[in-house]
Structure 1
Amino acid sequence: MRNELKDKSVLVTGGTAGIGLATALAFACQQADVVVTYRWGSADPDDIAAAFAAAGARPPTILEADVTSPEATAEVFDVIGRTHTELFALVSNVGFAQLVHGIDDYELKGLLQSIEYSAWPLASHLQAARRRFSRWPRYAVAVSSCGVDEYHSNYDFAASAKAVLETLVRYLAHRLRDEGCLVNGVRPRWVETESLTATVGPEFVETARRFHTPGLLQRTDEVANVILALCSGYLDGMRGQVLTVDHGTRFYDNIMRHHATHSSDRGSDRAQDR
């Protein structure tokens, strides 16, 4: 690592499951002081602490906090401020949105709530860090999704919120370009997590596996390593970028590729018949 992360303060919202947990572990394995937040009742702190211990990572600070609450956010930064004079990196990972099963689910309240949870915390937490420490974090990384521009089941409002998030990434990077704060995002495609199953249904993973496309499903640690790299110091020439993490599958995982594969298979079958 170019940047020495030991003892650096890192905040990962939604850091107790899936990509958030993997990211928190990646930083903690570099001996960073990691704070993870979660919604009430969504995690067992003892289980989270055990996962860090099993990985040989520095123990995290685990806080219940609603990312949409200014008071809860201020309390999170007060906890960080007891041992640190700045926040080194913010990973805005919370992704909570109303699922849409049909047109009758289109309600403005659901859309606005999805944006409030999945997009706005990037800005609000950066502002809270500035208020608490009189400086901006060195790095901010937002977790988006490829659902912004490709179809994901039930994802109408989530995709809309992630589109807002990616817009904020670009504009915040511009607004903070002279403040020493590097803002970027990552766009995982399909990561095998409970969140994926809850959003698109339990059958999707099996469907994806039947395509036999290497890399169609990503691991959480692969996304975490991209986030870690963005805070490593080696990619400081990047700002306002949203990096796609998908093993390149979006290039060749399409109807034409499957048609070509199946055509080739049929050709082989005909050759064998002869």
Structure 2
Amino acid sequence: MSNRFQNKVVVVTGGTSGIGLATARAFADEGASVFITGRRQDALDAAVKAIGGQITGVRGDMAELADIDRLYDAVQQKHARTDVVFANAGGGELAPLGAITEEHYRRTFDTNVKGVLFTVQKALPLLRDGASVILTGSTTSVSGTPAFSVYSATKAAVRNFARNWILDLKDRRIRVNAVSPGVTDTAGLDHLFGGGDAASGTKDYLAGLIPAGRIGQPEEIAKAVLFLASEEASFVNGIELFVDGGQVQI
């Protein structure tokens, strides 16, 4: 186990399950002081216990600006600066065109776009010059998915945040990149696909469409995030790194 992030301060939003949990654990395992967020206190407490190390849980919904302020207040109580922000909190639901409601649109854009925007903007006073910001995108930013247009639109927006923010932040040498997972084995994916046998069948079908022959694991996405956050990626800036077994390349 390396110590690439020894004495580093890392913020991971949406860190109580799936990709966020796996990434927070990976940062903690490499010596970072990690702050995670989650909307449910029981899930947050369970994640803090599972991760171990220098981990702090802050309850909050990143679609709410007051909760983002509370997150960074908690960081400032322990540290003078932040080295990495992984703006990962997000989610989506299936809704085909013709059945999209205003509430569906608002909820998805507030969480996936508004939340990411203000998670990063409100971090700026704390981020050290030369810091790293990673945004969670999705393969849906470049490929169509039935009944998933609103979610896909939010992830296209997130990808373009990275393109533009590298210009806004160039004088501070803050790198901004997006990691875009493909189909990944998480509880959220099971919920999206209806759970149980329905979810298993859908995942098996999707695995057959992926050149790697399987769906991804959260720990594999976490490795990509840690690479983008590390000095090994010091000249990587503004990219969308697909971690999808080759799915969008064919």
TM-score normalised to structure 1 length: 0.81
How far apart are residue 166 of structure 1 and its match?
0.7
RMSD between superposed Cα atoms in Å: 2.4
Contact 2:4–2:31 (CA under 8 A) maintained in structure 1: no
How far apart are residue 111 of structure 1 and its match?
2.0
What pairs with 1:153-232 in structure 2 (closer than 5 Å)? 153-201=146-194, 202=199, 203-209=201-207, 214-232=212-230
Contact 1:129–1:135 (CA under 8 A) maintained in structure 2: no
Q: Distance in 1 between matches of 2:148 and 2:98?
A: 14
**SS of alignment partner, residue 119 of structure 1:** helix
Change (3 A) 1:80 1:237: same
Structure label with greater radius of gyration = 1
Change (3 A) 1:79 1:212: closer
Amino acid at match of 2:206: A
Q: Distance in 1 between matches of 2:172 and 2:209?
A: 46
How far apart are residue 78 of structure 1 and its match?
0.9
Instruction: Please name the residue that 1:240 is paired with.
Output: 238
- Structure 2 unaligned spans of 5+: none
- Structure 1 unaligned spans of 5+: 253-274
Greater fraction strand? 2
Deviations 1:211-236 (A, max 9, x none): 69534311111110000001111111
How far apart are residue 149 of structure 1 and its match?
2.2
How far apart are residue 91 of structure 1 and its match?
0.4
TM-score normalised to structure 2 length: 0.88
Q: Distance in 1 between matches of 2:127 and 2:30?
A: 26
Deviations 1:99-126 (A, max 9, x none): 30x3332234422331221122232122
**SS of alignment partner, residue 37 of structure 2:** strand
Contact 1:3–1:232 (CA under 8 A) maintained in structure 2: no
How far apart are residue 2 of structure 1 and its match?
9.7
Match of residue 83, structure 2, among 85, 88, 92? 88
Identity of aligned residues (%): 24
Amino acid at match of 1:243: L
Instruction: Please name the residue that 2:70 is paired with.
Output: 75
Instruction: Please name the residue that 1:268 is paired with.
Output: none
